Amino acid sequence: MVADADCSFYDCLHTKFRCDGKGYALRRGKPDCQKYISESSCFTTAGQTWLTNVRRCLMQSIINSPLYNDESATCDQLATFAIASRPKCYTDNGFCTNIFLSPQCQNLNCIRNRIYPGKKSWSKQSIDQIIKTTESCPSQISTFLTDAPQQCNLGSPDSALPAAIHNQL
């Protein structure tokens, strides 16, 4: 299941941790996983590879965590761990080159407009994760700050995520 980055992994995770319907597995893990698949055509080829590898990494990080086999682990602990593992999975799989610096911010815009559509604003937790992720791209930050205003149409509502990153950096 993990090798294939199969989103049904989150159903099994939900059952294993006996979480209610508001737990991480069904509220965030599985829906994001499914969106990564259903909206992949919006992304560049490199972005599509990144999505597949991130799905696999997120699942593997949970399986490899001490929580996975801890009978006393709670759904809240699982959620905290899973969310905290995201920036590493993003950067380890090419965020800095394949997402952050995609042409005309295509992949960042796909994340904002296809994976998380309708978000009027980003939560502090989301902004913190975005910043943590982008800060692990030190050699790409100056390129982004220089190129984004011209290439990404930062004033457009469609470019809200690149604009938020640009404003935070």
State what percent of residues in the chain have pLDDT above 70. 95
pLDDT at 69 over 70: yes
Cα–Cα distances (Å) from 114 to 71, 81, 103, 106, 108, in that order, read: 36, 25, 17, 11, 10
DSSP string, 82-102: HHHHHHHHHHHTTIIIIITT-
* Number of continuous H segments (helices) and E segments (strands) in the chain: 9, 0
Position 125 scores a pLDDT of 73
SS3 at position 72: coil
Position 88 scores a pLDDT of 94
Q: Who has greater pLDDT, 77 or 126? A: 77
SS3 at position 127: helix
Position 3 scores a pLDDT of 66
For the chain, the domains span: 1-75, 94-169
pLDDT tens digit string along 78-128? Answer: 999 999 999 999 999 999 999 988 989 899 989 888 887 766 666 777 777
How far is the C-alpha of 140 from the C-alpha of 100, rounded, in Å? 8
Q: Who has greater pLDDT, 36 or 153? A: 36
pLDDT at 20 over 90: no
Position 157 scores a pLDDT of 80
Report residue 169 as tokens: 């950096």
